[in-house]
Amino acid sequence: MIVRKQPTFRDILFALRGSILPHIAPRMLAVAVISIVAVVAADEWPGIFSRISAIPFTLIGIALSVFMSFRSNACYARWWEGRMLWGEMIIAARSLAREIAILPESDRQFLLRGVCAFANGLGARLRGNDVAAAIAPWCDIGSDAQGPNPTDAVLGRVGRRCLEMMRDGRIDAIHYSVLDRQLDRLAHVQGGCERILLTPVPFSYSLLLLRTASVFCVTLPFALAGSLGFWTLLPVLIVAYTFFGLDALSHQLEDPFGLAPNALPLAAMQRTIERELLAQLGEAELPPPLQPVLDVLS
């Protein structure tokens, strides 16, 4: 996730880090070249584009802007839902730590390290990394590490420990139901994240908008070259920057758990959970919080 202050006027003019411009530069360059070709052709053969009116482009541009805003909003909703789910996981982890504060040290170690394993396993699962390797430093789930869902196996392991504590009389049924509710919240977080991960924005919808925006930006110079001359570059590049930039940004937000600059900082949120739960266990040396690297928090 990009972490920067409100852009200044200098940032507006020159900032590249955190901008979508580097990702759309090739397309912008192609549109600029086509615009120059259109202007040169209009100068060499006056009237060649006289029959091309700008009015249809105005109507198409308005419609395209509306549809692109729909896609942008849909992708942002996915990004925000992912952030809400990880925020809920942090809350559930803190609540669980508070609710087991009076338990013996061995039980607290088992449960809280299990929650750390769950957070790291879920982060690895969402980013396509080795889930078992992410869980291993925190707990041993045995043969479940090779199963289809090691992250859920961690929750099952923690849940069984809670059942054992109730059966042995270390906690009562009410206390167990309180702990089980927090485990249900964690399971809900995993299910919600997997729903986002496995249900992308329909490809045909994204392809239709990108094709329409590309055709619009490529053909717009021919409608403006005859009347604006080399000034054609200015409105065409502004329109291309807006349409291509929104498309590229929406593509990054569509996968909130990826590694794009605008994706969610899963590693930083995992570290938050680790630090707080280890502090609850009385650990003196806590892992440092993650800091942004080149304005990007991973």
pLDDT tens-digit map of 214-253: 999 999 998 888 888 888 899 999 999 999 999 999 999 9
In a domain, 287, yes or no: no
pLDDT of residue 115: 96
pLDDT of residue 225: 86
In a domain, 10, yes or no: no
In a domain, 78, yes or no: yes
pLDDT of residue 293: 81
- For the chain, the three-class secondary structure string (H helix, E strand, C coil) is CECCCCCCHHHHHHCCCCCCHHHHHHHHHHHHHHHHHHHHHHHHCCCCCCCCCCHHHHHHHHHHHHHHHHHHHHHHHHHHHHHHHHHHHHHHHHHHHHHCCCCCHHHHHHHHHHHHHHHHHHHHHHCCCCHHHHHCCCCCCHHHHHCCCHHHHHHHHHHHHHHHHHHCCCCCHHHHHHHHHHHHHHHHHHHHHHHHHHCCCCHHHHHHHHHHHHHHHHHHHHHHHHHHHHHHHHHHHHHHHHHHHHHHHHHHHHCCCCCCCCCCCHHHHHHHHHHHHHHHCCCCCCCCCCCCECCECC
pLDDT of residue 22: 85
pLDDT of residue 45: 83
Asked if 238 and 184 sit in the same domain, the reply is: no
Asked if 98 and 227 sit in the same domain, the reply is: no
Asked if 189 and 145 sit in the same domain, the reply is: yes
In a domain, 89, yes or no: yes
Asked if 196 and 207 sit in the same domain, the reply is: no
Asked if 248 and 266 sit in the same domain, the reply is: no
Domain hosting residue 175, numbered range: 72-200+260-281
In a domain, 102, yes or no: yes
In a domain, 76, yes or no: yes
Residues of the chain with pLDDT below 50 are none
Asked if 188 and 143 sit in the same domain, the reply is: yes
Asked if 142 and 98 sit in the same domain, the reply is: yes
Asked if 207 and 196 sit in the same domain, the reply is: no
Asked if 76 and 188 sit in the same domain, the reply is: yes
Domain count of the fold of the chain: 2
